[in-house]
Amino acid sequence: MSAAADGEAALAERLRQRVASQFGRSLHIRTLDTGSCAVCEQEIRLLSAPHYDLHRLGFFLTPAPRHADLLMVTGPMIRAFDVAARKTYEAMPGPKLVVATGACALGGVYPADAFVHGTVGEILPVDVWIPGCPPSPLALLQGLLVAVDRLAEKVSGLSFTADGADS
């Protein structure tokens, strides 16, 4: 990773700390569908269902980007949607976070081509990545908590290798 990107990452990290300290226990979330298959949306809707009830954690879904501190972006960022995506992001007051949600948004399903950018990061500055196709509500909760520093992210510590193989 280049030094510039390094500085950028550090900057994003500081921003995240700031949001966490300011909105850590009252965070308003706006979702943005940039071409998902409608399943990620279903899982996000379920976050407010009794089984998960994100309000108990101080998260709230808001339809108005003007009130939103965090943008959950799903889908591979279709090029025809650039304008709307940028407008939505600019409509949010700072400091603000962007959470790329689901394999599409992370570039797992569609390669970059004439239809899509491939990843959300191409258009918006992503702070937190939530893999999964779709990410289950539990995974989404964990991602949100990571976004506001109430859970430590653990993926960097995982190796995804099973041991005891050399037998």
Chain residues 26-45 in contact with another protein, contact rule CB under 8 A: 29-45
Least distance from C-beta 157 to another protein, angstroms?
A: 9
CA 120 to chain centre: 9
Radius of gyration of the chain, Cα coordinates, nearest whole angstrom: 16
Residue 87 interacts with another protein (CB under 8 A): yes or no: yes
As a whole number of angstroms, the distance between CA 34 and CA 76 comes to 6
Chain residues 44-63 in contact with another protein, contact rule CB under 8 A: 44-46, 49-53, 56, 61-63
Residue 155 interacts with another protein (CB under 8 A): yes or no: yes
- Which amino acid would we find at residue 33? D
**19 neighbors 72 (Cβ within 8 angstroms):** no
Least distance from C-beta 37 to another protein, angstroms?
A: 3
Residue 22 interacts with another protein (CB under 8 A): yes or no: no
Least distance from C-beta 45 to another protein, angstroms?
A: 4
Residue 77 interacts with another protein (CB under 8 A): yes or no: no
Residue 106 interacts with another protein (CB under 8 A): yes or no: yes
* Residue linked to tokens 């991602």: 143
Residue 4 interacts with another protein (CB under 8 A): yes or no: no
The 133-152 contact track toward another protein, x by CB under 8 A, reads xxxx-xx-xxx-xxx--xx-
Q: For residue 3, what are its two tokens?
A: 């030094």
* Residue linked to tokens 């591979």: 76
As a whole number of angstroms, the distance between CA 20 and CA 30 comes to 17
